[in-house]
Structure 1
């Protein structure tokens, strides 16, 4: 199994493998160009996003500055708005549905490391060098969601369609459809869009 296959399967992988360095280099080059373009240069920006992302729908707006790791693992539906200063750590897939609003300073993290120090850094038997353990899990955001400013979504989370994530919330687990959630860690406050708890 290649390091890329391990990564996409959610298994421990070497994030310093050359393929990931190549992905990052490509993304950094495209982002540098993207983030220096003027707001009015919409066609040029759209072309860069088409090259950067794995898939992009119609009527997508991504404000500058925008940061991502690889870009290739970001899949956006139609009518998506991403405001300024957002960070998408897309070591695994980030799938965003249609009609989604993502406010300023939102952070989506697919990558993580073991909590225990002894598991985070392990000596490689062949080289004797310390190897940092990393794993990545996909994030899915359903149709019609709104993520408030400064919200943080952690690896492996699915946010059900129609849900609203309050500003500054930290999403550590899956959120059911049509839920209003707030807090750190966030919790469901009530159902919305005509649904009952």
Structure 2
């Protein structure tokens, strides 16, 4: 079981061994992300460096436009034929899965971390995974909040904030995102 899976549903409080471990890993990742985003890198080099950041293989069919941002890095998994545009932010401590043929527009934010509501524990963290299913498209400047699944073939319109699961074959828009249309194959 991965660390991301073990963290699901738990409060991660400051001063705990786990909290400290997370922040050590986060600091190591910041160096790798900074190095990735300095200067031009050929596509193969970008994939190699993102593989190092995520500690997972990035398929040769994946296209990642720089700059690429992640706060933790080790909990991102990508399928094949994924396109990630510029300035996408992965807050991935809770785990992010991007399946095959996904399109992610510029300035998208995939967020898997939330702070605890109780004021006495506010600096603590809760995490919940984000999943983007096959052939989904996230438009520019979309925010996906913790625990959300974006359904297969769905579209999230630009500037939307997704707070709940998106069913397959639908278009959602707005803040919070709501279904505006079903997608029917022709």
TM-score normalized by structure 1? 0.84
Out of 77, 80, 88, the residue aligned to residue 78 of structure 1 is 80
Are 2:112 and 1:121 aligned?
A: no
Contact 2:105 2:141 in 1 (8 A): yes
Are the structure 2 counterparts of residues 6 and 189 from structure 1 closer, same or farther at C-alpha, using a change threshold of 3 Å?
Answer: closer
Residue 54 of structure 1: how far off its partner (Å): 4.2
The structure with more radius of gyration = 1
Measured against aligned partners, the alpha-carbon deviations of 1:64-94 in whole angstroms (never above 9, x if no partner) come to 1121111110000001111111111001110
In the alignment, what sits opposite 2:107? 105
Residue 192 to residue 6, structure 1, CA distance change in 2 (3 Å):
closer
Asked if 1 retains the 8 angstrom alpha-carbon contact of 2:139 and 2:157, the reply is yes
Q: Say if 2:141 and 2:158, in contact at 8 Å, map to a contact too.
A: yes
**Cross-structure match for 1:11:** 10
1:67 corresponds to which residue? 69
Contact 1:6-1:12 at 8 Å conserved across structures: no
- 5 Å-filtered alignment, 1:30-179, equals 30-39=32-41, 41-55=42-56, 56-115=58-117, 119-122=118-121, 132-179=123-170
TM-score of the aligned structures, taking structure 2 as reference length: 0.89
- Which structure 2 segments of 5+ residues have no match? none
Q: Is the 8 A contact 2:161 2:174 kept in 1?
A: yes
Point out where structure 1 has 5 or more consecutive residues left out of the alignment.
123-130
> RMSD between aligned alpha carbons?
2.0
How many residue pairs get aligned? The number is 180
2:186 is equivalent to residue 187 of structure 1: no
